[in-house]
Structure 1
Amino acid sequence: MAELAIDSGELEALIVRMRALMAREETDISDPGGNPSDDEVPAALQELSGDMTREELVQEIEGLNDDQQDALVALYWIGRGDVEPEEWDKTLELARSRHVGPTSRYLLSHPLVPDQIEDGWEKLRESGELE
């Protein structure tokens, strides 16, 4: 049976924050040209004061202990289909052995990472492997 080093509530909240950050535009395009009605960027996708910044999310991920960071990477790999949930222990060990540099840089360099971590978590739960 797999044991997840990160609390499910904390994982769920982290996925939501990753999704929110990854969906936003950093700046508005001042003169996009073309048809203005087609070129408008919804304000909801732009950074607003009070929103979590990329740096804060990086700090949050890096503030997790090594076991929690390795679990995020393993869930990501399962979610994107690199490995099966039944290979959790091996996948976690592989994530530990490849843990070089900031985990946040690795994870946040993939635009679909929140969905893939969530998919990996769901696959792990559905497989019956998760305690």
Structure 2
Amino acid sequence: MIDISAVSGPRVILKAIEQEIPMAALPFNDTRIEELVLRFNAVMAKEGTDISDLGGNASDDEVAVTLQETGGDLSRDEITQEIESMNDEQKDALVALFWIGRGDAEPEAWEQTKALARQQHEGLVSRYLLGQPEAGEFLTAGLEKMVEYGVD
């Protein structure tokens, strides 16, 4: 069993590398998955643009708050592009990692979970994951569970 108590979030990958845990079952570059989780967290922290009070001060009408999504926001588009540029094996693994993190599957069933993810592909994987609350947290939790399990 790996001690990951001092490690949180995507840094668990680096801890796994330091402890020489084989990560071959995860077809991700450590930097790539870490950046993806950070992007998910940034997008999930945002709210939809809500401009319901048009009778306020004219100087601030129609101005979006910093953490609101706007039409020109690239974060969601960047995640979509990143995920859809992955090969099928990586997309399957990403969905499986999400499911494991959410508690729908266990690391012991990694191969079966990836196969189920492949069977369930309907539409864009990015759309599925972006539609899930706390996607970044579940990906991180799934990764932590896989490292605890000692993937090979």
Structure 1 length-normalised TM: 0.80
CA distance in 1, matches of 2:75, 2:111: 33
CA distance in 1, matches of 2:66, 2:38: 15
Aligned to 1:7: 29
Decide which structure has greater helix share. Answer: 1
SS at match of 1:45: coil
Structure 2 length-normalised TM: 0.70
CA shift for structure 1 position 26: 3.5
CA distance in 2, matches of 1:52, 1:15: 15
Aligned to 1:126: 148
CA RMSD of aligned residues (A): 2.5
Aligned to 1:87: 109
CA shift for structure 1 position 49: 9.5
Task: Confirm or deny: 8 A CA contact 1:74 1:92 kept in the other structure.
Answer: yes
CA distance in 2, matches of 1:87, 1:72: 14
Identity, in percent, stands at 51
Q: Which amino acid aligns with 1:90?
A: Q
CA distance in 1, matches of 2:107, 2:97: 9
Task: Confirm or deny: 8 A CA contact 1:61 1:104 kept in the other structure.
Answer: yes
- Structure 2, unaligned stretches of length 5 or more? 1-21, 55-64
Q: Which amino acid aligns with 2:79?
A: L
Runs of 4+ with deviation above 6 angstroms: none
CA shift for structure 1 position 104: 0.9
CA distance in 1, matches of 2:119, 2:70: 38
Aligned length, in residue pairs = 122
Which is greater in Rg?
A: 2
- Structure 1, unaligned stretches of length 5 or more? 33-42
CA distance in 2, matches of 1:108, 1:48: 16
